[in-house]
Every structure is written in C-alpha cells, then in structure tokens.
Structure 1
Amino acid sequence: MDWQIEGQECLDIISTSYEDLPSYLKPCFMYIASFPEDYKIKASSLTRLWIAEGFIIHHDPTRAIEEIAQSYLEELVQRCMFQVSERSWSGRIKHCYIHDILRELAVQKAAEENFLLIFSKSNANSTSGTSTSARRIAFHEFGSTELPKESIIGPKLRSLISFGDHFPNIQKLRMVRVIHSENSEIDENLQRMKQSTTLRYFRSYTILKLPNSFWNNKMLRYVRAENYSYGQFVSGPSSSVKLENLEVLKGVFIARDEWTVRFPHFPRIRKLGIKISNRTNWEAMANSITKLENLESLFLGSNGLSHPVITHAFKDYERMHSLYLCCLWPGRRIGDSSLFPPRLLKLTLRRSFLEQDPMQELEKLSNLRVLRLLYESYKGEQLICSAGGFRRLQQLKLHGLSSLKELKVEDGAMPLLKQLEISYCIHMEMLPDLQYLTRLEELKLKRMLPAFNCLLEGPDRHKVEHIPSISI
C-alpha cells in the first residue's frame, strides 16, 4: 500500500478495506479511534474493552471469550488494518498500533455512524460546545481553556475514556459500561457516581481510593486500579460483596485479615494482583486464594513483609501459568522447585533479596518459558545456569541486580533461549558464554558499564557473533 497518497483521495481508497470488513469487525476497528495518535496499544486492554462493550460474538462454549477477542485482533492484523509492534513469547499480540491514515479513517467512520465522539486539541474549538447523543466519548490532551462543556455527558453514555488530565463529572451516568482513565484524577468524581448496573470495565492509573459503593457494581468484569505515581494499590471493599462476573482484579491492597475470606466471593477470577501488609495472616490469605479454581495469573506484593512467603501455597494451582512476587523471601533461599505451580510458564521476582543463587532450583521448572529477576531480587555475585537446566526457557531478563558480577552459562543450559536482556547490573564484569545459546535471537544490554559493553567488540566478540539482533 502506498502511504504517500494524501488526503481524501487516500481515505476513499482505503475505505474499501473498511467496507470489506465483516460486520463483527467494524466496531472493533472504529474503537481504535478512542486511542490518541501514535499511541502504543496494549492488546489485552483493547480486547477487554471490546468484550466490555459487547462487540464479541460468543457462541462457542469450547472457547473463552478472550480467545475469540484475540482472534478478532489477529484478523484485523491479517487484513492490514492493525500492525503488530510486539508479540509475547507465545506468539500472542502484546502491543499493536495503527497507521495514521487508517486511524483517520477510523475517526471518520466513528463520526459518521455516531459511534464515538473525540475531544482533543485539534478539534476542541469545533466540538467543545456540542451536545451529542454519542454513546462513547474519548478525551485526549487538552489545555486549561479548551475543556468541553459538561453538557455532553448524558445519562445514556456507555463509555468514557480519558488519556489527558481532564475527566468530566460522571454523577449522572447510569448506563456506563467502560471507565478508562490514564492521567486524570478521578477519586472525588467516582465518589459522586451513583451505583451502575452496567459497569463492566474500570481502569485508572491515578486512583487513590475506591468508594465502598463501587464494589456494588455487580456486572464488573475487569478492574485495574494501580496508582503508578505513588506506587500504591487501593483498598478493597470494606464489606462482604459477591462479584460473580469479576475476572481481572489488580491493584488491591489487603491491610486486614478479614478481607482474605472474600476471595471465594469472586469465583471467576483469572488474574489477581494484590499487596499485603505485615499484619496480614499470609497463611490464611493463601488458603483463601486456593479456592479460586480459575486463577491463572497472580501478582503478590508486600509493603515490608518480614517473613518468607510460604511457597507450598502455590503448588496446588493447576491452572496458574504466571506468578509475580514482589518484596517476599527477604534474605532467604527460594525453596524447592516442586513447591511452585506445576504448569508455571512465567515467573517474576522483584526485591526478594535472595542470598542464595535461585537458578539451581528454578532451572528445574520444566514448563518455564519466561524468567525475570528484577530489582534486588538477588543479592549474590554469581548466577549459574547449569547444563540441562531451563529446558524450555525462551526469555531471561536480569534487571537491577546491583551485586551481580557474573552470569555463568554452561554448555547445554537454556537450549531454547531466544531473548536475553541484562540491564542496570552495574557491577557485572564478564560477558556470559553466549556462544552456547545457539538459538538466541536477541540480546539487549541497557545501562551497563562502558567497559562491559566494549567486550562485544573486543576479546568476547566470538560469544555474540551468532546473535542476529544486539542492542546497547
């Protein structure tokens, strides 16, 4: 396709691609207009938004609705409507984007069909005073004098998405399905919102507190409430609630033991992200989590836990494939590999301050595909990947291990490794024996000592000659 064709002529040409889309893909394509120009779109967020909006046709009981949504995305990619910027180790789309001219088409079609109203600096003057019957509104960047009038927020609004600092008054909303806020502060706004019987998707990067009434939204399916500015999670509900549709819950801080008994009230939870306090009874909470039979992914963090995590709490999670542990195992060994979930595919450790090399146990995890040892997860000077270990590992990331001096890779270790990233390991002195990793496709080195980087062009050049992609 010739991307040099300009203006309406180009739109007329590519609009035939839109007209050729099956009916079930057209709303999915138009929805991309709600994201700002040049925005790197997380595929999981996009497909969850589609599901919350009701775009996904789910008639096959043998397939999860998320799987069908992913197939929609793949079909749009195959039709060259979307582009893939990153795939996961398993081949699933991780991030995607859309070319400017196709985004312009999505904006045009969304406006023609009264599908979505967009407010941004480029169109603020022409639309800020407009009353609309559009059921979806997206706010992009605004200046202080460019804000649209609140009259556009009607009681029938279905979706409210904000990427700028502005978030309108949502007190009147009764039928909203989607609330997505990335930069705007919505705490007080959310306090004024009446109970909705339709809210399915909520995501905020700045929320400090969720009101108790929020948890009365029985249709909730996806909730992410991390506050990245302060590194905080929000408190969970203060009274017993039952959310039978909730599948993703991330960003909850558990400060009291009594909250742990509520996990069985969320029977469909697949992805859970929580932080616990040093007053939390870890064993009681772990036993409560084990009742979540559909749990596939768990983030578990602490605000200063002083005792080691009980690893045997994880061994019975038959369906769990992803585990992220933060601020646990302080100063201890990692424990026997048999205590981890039997089908674990991805493991991330952060600030666990391990003193003993964890590789001797982790390399026994027969299904592990991705291992990330992040900021101060290990305090030792040497990591050893022994021959025959990590038989299926495809990605290894070492980040912020300030004491690490050497990664030793024996011949026969990690035979399937495709990607290796080493970053902020400021005392690392030796380049690993990467010549043994014959399937390594990508090597990323970030913020390493200049002397370490020089090894690539010096005496250790033979260790990396076979690697197609090397970035420093």
Structure 2
Amino acid sequence: MGLPSAIVAVGEVLAKKRTSQEWETVLRDVKLLIDRGQPVEQIVSQKSISDLIFDDLPYHLKPCFLYLGLFPKGSKIEVEHLCLQWMAEGMISRDDGQENGTMMDLAESYLSELVQRKMVEVEKEETPSLRKYRSCSVHEDMHDHCSRKGEEYFFMVLVKRSSNSLPLTTNPARRMALHLGKEEDRSSVDELRNEKVDHLRSLLLLSSQDLQVKLEWPRRMFKRYRMLRVLTFERVDFQERGLPRGMTWPIYLRYLSFKGCILGVLPSSIGGLSFLETLDLRVSSQIIIPNVLRKLGKLVYLYLPLEFKMQNNGKLYLKSLKEIELLQNFDTGMCNVADLFKMKRLRHLSTTVEGILGDLEQIVHRMVMTSENTAVSIKVKNFDCYTEERHSVFRKLLECKTLHTLHMDGHLGQIPLHDKITTTLTGIVLIGSELKEDPMATLDKLPELQVLVLQDNAFAGEKMICVKSGFKKLKRLELLTLRFLETWEVEKGSMPVLSILAVKNCEKLRILPDGLRNRFRGITFDIVSEHISKDGFRLKESGPGTSAFLYEDLNSRYLPTRI
C-alpha cells in the first residue's frame, strides 16, 4: 500500500538537507502546518511555510499582520493602541463592519482572525468589558518572516543605521520604526530629519528598554513629513528642553502617543492638529497641558495623564470634543464634570472623583443617561458616607448598569443587597469601608465579578464565609490589612476559577480555609503573615517570608486606568 503521502513529502525534503539546523526548520514547518490544520504535503512547495501562510491571508489582513513586524521581536504590543494605529492608517475597512459595531470592534475582529490562523498570540484582559485582548505578539516562528516580508511592502525597521546604509529616499518605506537603544539616538533622528520622506505614513520611535531614552527633538523635524498619519514616542525622555514650542506638526496626523515619555510641557501648537483622532498623554512624569485640546474637534480617543497641571491653574476645557468615544483618566479635580454631558458618543469612561458630593452626583447622573453598551470605571477617593445624603449617592452609583469597575475609598458601614447592585460589575476595590456585616454574602452573588480587593479594614467584622455557590467567575481575591478578621470559611465549590489569592497583614487570621488549602495546585498564593501556617502549600520562595507571586496593585493597573 506504500507510505502515507505526508511521510513521503517530509522524506523528500529532508533528503536535500545537510545540517541539523535545516532539519529543525523542516520540523518547525511541519508543526506550523499541523497547528493550522493544513496538509503536511505542502512542505514540498518551493515557498517556505511562512510564505504559504502569508499568501493564504485575505488581502485586508496582510498589512495588519505586517504592521506587527515594526515592533521589537518578543515585545508585547498593547492591542487597543495597535487597533487605533491600524484605523489611523486606513487599514480597517468600514465596509466589513457590523451595523451596531464600532471601528474598534472591527479592528479587534481582524486581530482575532490572525489569532485563529496561529500567526499571533494574545493575552486576554483579566476583567474584559469593551476589549477582549490586552496585548499581543507575533508568533515566534513568524516574526522574522513578518519583518522580511514587510520590506517588500514598504515597511522598514531601523535598529542602528550604519555609514554604508542606503538613503531612505532609495527605499520609499511608508511605515517605519526606529528602535532606540540605551544611548541617545540623535544621529538616527538627524538622518530622518535631513531626508525627504513625503511618502511616510507611520513613524514609531520605540524603546526596547525599561527606561526612557534621552532625545532632543528638532524643531523643524516634520517639515517634510506631509503624509504622516501615525506618530508614536515610547519611553522617550525629552529632557528639560522638551518639545520646541513652535514646532511644526504633520497636519494630517491622526494618531499621536507620548505614552511612558518624560515631557514637562505639551506644546500649544498641538491644537492645530485638526485631523487628530487619538491622543495619548499618559506620560511617566507630571506634565503641564495648555488649554488647547478643545480645538481637536475630531478627537475620538483621549488618554489623559494620571497627573497634570494647567498653565493658569484652571480646569481643562473639553466641552467641544463631541466625537469622543473613549476618555481615560478624567479627573473631576482638573476637568469640568459638565463637559461629559456634551459627549453623546462616549462608550468608555475612566474617571476619578476626589470626595466632592456634587461631582459624584453629576457623574452618576451622566451614567444613568448613557446607553448600556458603555463601560465606566470609577475611582472615588476620600468619600466617607456618614450621612444618608452621601450614602444614597453611593447606592445610586451601584445601581448604574454601565458600571464595570469600582474603586471606593472611604467609610460605608454597609452595602446594599445584591439585587440593588448592577450585574455588570467585573472588579471591586473597597478601602476603609468599615463594613459591619460580612460583604461576601452580597458580593458572591454578582454574576460577572472577577476581581475583588478588600483593604484597610474594608470589613470590620471577625468572621467571613464564602458559600459553595458563590463567586462563580472570581479570578483574583486580595485581603489586605483586615485587622479584625479572625475566621474565614470557604465551602467546597466556592470560587471555582480562583487563580490568584493575596492575604497580607491580617494579624488575627491564623490559618487559611480548608477549601483553599486543598486546591493549592490551582491557585497562586501571596501570603504575608507570621501566623498562617504554610504546611501543605507549595510556595516557591523568592525571599525571606515572601512567595513567588509578584503582587501588582490592582488600584493602579485596573481601576480606573483600565477596564
């Protein structure tokens, strides 16, 4: 009957190979074909498997995939901003969209197709609301091909320009990334400034290090960048001089990001970018913002910094931004709450309220007016509810169907019954709440809750019980500085998908529940207590008295900066 055709095909190819490295390449190609569910016989083709996979892509996915090759190999690319860059480049076709979906929804569906084809790997959001994925990266076996194929389609990556490199004018790249090193890359920037690059549509200055790269930006850098649509600065230190005040910007720019940069003052000339749709100001230092953002009438996605100042110590004017769909880090201390009522298309809001009753009342009123496909993440700081007036506003907040994540810092005393709390909540942080009754009896009935943090005597009682049918979707639980907690019971079947547990500074809690001790293989523990016995736990010690779990503060990662 003869050998199977797949074995014959592999044998034909291996017979022509002479080194172990060549044999490993064939093995990789076979694995790729098997993962994709394609016949192994394809390896006899003259083309590489990577070429075959790329050629098999629909036309609309090819530039989206090649765009990923601009990023450093192995890097985790933030999905939300990748999609925004695709949109700014015109790579997302409105004709493919669904009637009720947004362009962002469509961009994410493009990425899902690449994931299904085993070309891209993704990390999902821990508490998904509007977005399904948090980050992505090119499959290890595809990255080199992605970069190489990109050059054929006018994508270019500059790591370090040598003296004998071809001028950029001889290679009319339309998308370009400059990978900055540890030292200042002034020579590379000067070369970009001195050459005519009218054809360039995307310019990404990316730092592959976990530090800011010092860079002095030329004033007339963009004089010849007339067609530029996407401009990204990642972890760039603009030093004391910052960006020049009167610098010329590409007038058709649609995407501009300073994420992770050190930038003292935002130039007022940015107000002239009348086509700008995305602006990311999440710098790593405090920044002064001139009141010119109101001029950006086409802005759809605005990421404000966590901390900033105004030139005249006033408030940031955003009332004219009527196209806004996503607004992040909206601080009522620096922005006018009334401006939110003008943003009729708002779908994603993360906001901070600093203890002012009137501001929280307006935020709640705005949430009630918003359609249910909107996701709101809210951080309420220093808001003690000792009066009925203040507690009633808190109760109204919990009823809002658009509320997805809540960070509440202040005395509450009690929380409403579960049927008075929206079912959309995916994350809750309670700090200093001083709840008299066990909050688990209420919170365990919230169907979408995935992250729960109780901190600084959020619960002032002695006993806490998690019943067997509760917390069906809870993934992360943190009990931090609950000084009165003595007994904690977890019934069998409670928290079935829990994967991360942190217990810190709970002085009277001397042992973890049996319901968790028996499940140590499925849970990552972070236990900081001299009383709790670790017998039966497989904790990989990373230092004296600590576990291997690297604690990442939910307050900064999820609430309210991300949903």
Fold-level similarity (TM above 0.5): yes
Q: Which structure: larger Rg?
A: 2
| 2:374 maps to amino acid | E
CA offsets, 1:403-451, max 9 Å, x none?
Answer: 375673443553643424225456453122326998x973111252476
Cα shift at 1:81: 1.8
The one-letter code sitting in structure 1 at the alignment partner of 2:416 is G
Residue of structure 1 in register with 2:297 after alignment: 218
Give the 3-state SS of the residue equivalent to 2:292 in structure 1. helix
Q: For residues 270-295 of structure 1, what are the alpha-carbon distances to aligned partners after superposition, in whole Å with 9 as ceiling and x for unaligned? A: 22111223345132342233222246
Q: Report whether the alignment pairs 1:163 with 2:251.
A: no
Counterpart pick for 2:82 among 20, 42, 46: 46
Sequence identity (%)? 16
Aligned to 2:406: 324
Query: In structure 2, do the counterparts of structure 1 residues 191 and 389 end up closer, same or farther at CA, with 3 Å as the change threshold?
Result: farther
- Read off the aligned partner of 2:346 and give its amino acid letter: I
What is the CA–CA distance in structure 2 between the aligned matches of 1:437 and 1:353, rounded to whole Å?
31
- The DSSP-based 3-state class of the residue aligned with 2:108 is helix
Pick from 372, 397, 415 the counterpart of residue 334 of structure 1. Answer: 415
Residue 314 (str. 1) matches residue 394 (str. 2): no
Secondary structure, counterpart of 1:348 in structure 2: strand
CA distance in 1, matches of 2:395, 2:381: 21
Q: Deviations over 1:84-142 (max 9, x none)?
A: 34454679433322246644444444454123211224687567413223111111238
Match of 1:184 in 2: 261
More displaced stretch, 196-205 vs 183-192:
183-192
In the alignment, which residue of structure 2 is the partner of 1:84?
122
**Alignment partner for residue 392 of structure 1, among 466, 472, 475?**
472
Which residue of 443, 454, 464 corresponds with 2:534?
A: 454
**Correspondence 1:28 to 2:64:** yes
Please name the residue that 1:431 is paired with: 512
TM-aligned CA distance change 1:396 to 1:189, over 3 Å? closer
Secondary structure of 1:194's counterpart equals helix
| Residue identity in the other structure for 1:119 | L
TM-score (norm 2): 0.68
Contact conserved, 1:375 with 1:401, CA < 8 A, in 2? Answer: yes
> In the alignment, what sits opposite 2:364?
286
Query: Counterparts of 2:119 and 2:109 in 1: how far apart (Å)?
Result: 14
SS at match of 1:220: coil
Aligned to 1:463: none
The alpha-carbon distance between structure 1 residues 393 and 457, as it changes in their structure 2 partners (threshold 3 A), is: closer
- For the 8 Å contact 2:293–2:317, the answer to whether it is kept is no
CA contact (8 A) 1:223 1:248 kept: yes
Change (3 A) 1:289 1:31: same
| Paired position in structure 1 for 2:354 | 277
Which has the larger displacement, 264-273 or 97-106?
A: 97-106
Contact kept, 8 Å, 2:127 with 2:451, in 1: the verdict is: no
CA distance in 2: counterparts of 1:3 and 1:299, whole angstroms: 52
Q: Which moved more, 1:278-287 or 1:133-142?
A: 278-287
Question: Residue 445 and residue 415 in structure 1: after superposition, are their counterparts in 2 closer, same or farther (change >3 A)?
Answer: closer
Provide the alpha-carbon RMSD of the alignment: 4.1
- Amino acid in the other structure paired with 1:118: A
Kept in 2: contact 1:382–1:405 (CA 8 A):
yes
The farther-off stretch of 370-379 and 170-179 is 370-379
The SS at the match of 1:263 is helix
Aligned pair in 2 of structure 1 residues 121, 387: CA closer, same or farther (>3 Å)?
closer
Instruction: Report Cα offsets for 1:204-238 as digits up to 9, x if no partner.
Output: 322634432213312222112233xx6x7999964
Q: The residue matched to 2:322 in structure 1 has which SS? A: coil
Q: Could you tell me how far apart the structure 2 residues matched to 1:119 and 1:181 are?
A: 15
C-alpha separation in 2, matches of 1:88 and 1:279: 30
Q: Corresponding residue for 2:441? A: 360
Determine if contact 1:263/1:288 at 8 Å carries over to the other structure: yes
Query: Aligned equivalents of 1:233 and 1:424: distance in 2?
Result: 35
**Equivalent residues in 2 for 1:10-409 (5 A)?**
14-58=50-94, 59-86=97-124, 88=126, 92-99=132-139, 102-112=142-152, 113=154, 114-121=173-180, 128-130=190-192, 131=195, 132=197, 133-141=199-207, 144=214, 151=221, 154-166=225-237, 171-186=248-263, 188-206=265-283, 208-227=287-306, 238-239=316-317, 241-255=319-333, 259-281=336-358, 282-294=360-372, 296-307=374-385, 310-314=393-397, 316-318=399-401, 320=402, 322-327=404-409, 329-330=410-411, 332-341=413-422, 343-356=423-436, 357-365=438-446, 367-373=447-453, 375-376=455-456, 378-380=458-460, 382=462, 384-387=464-467, 389-390=469-470, 392-398=472-478, 400-401=480-481, 403=483, 405=485, 408-409=488-489
Deviation at 1:305, TM superposition (A): 3.0
- TM superposition shift of 1:52: 4.2
Question: How far apart are the structure 1 equivalents of 2:317 and 2:187?
Answer: 46
Pick closer, same or farther for the CA change 1:110–1:408 going to 2, 3 Å: same
Residue pair 1:420, 1:443 contacting (<8 A) in 2 also: yes
> SS state of the match for residue 140, structure 1?
strand
Contact 1:200 1:222 in 2 (8 A): yes
TM-score by length of 1: 0.79
Deviation at 1:242, TM superposition (A): 3.7
Q: Which residue of 2 aligns with 1:464?
A: none
Change (3 A) 1:43 1:350: farther
Where structure 2 has 5 or more consecutive residues not aligned to the other structure, the ranges are 1-20, 30-46, 155-172, 540-547, 551-563
Alpha-carbon contact 1:349-1:377 (below 8 Å) kept? no
Q: 1:471 to 1:150 in 2, by over 3 A?
A: same
Alpha-carbon distance between aligned partners in 2 of 1:268 and 1:377, rounded to the nearest angstrom: 39
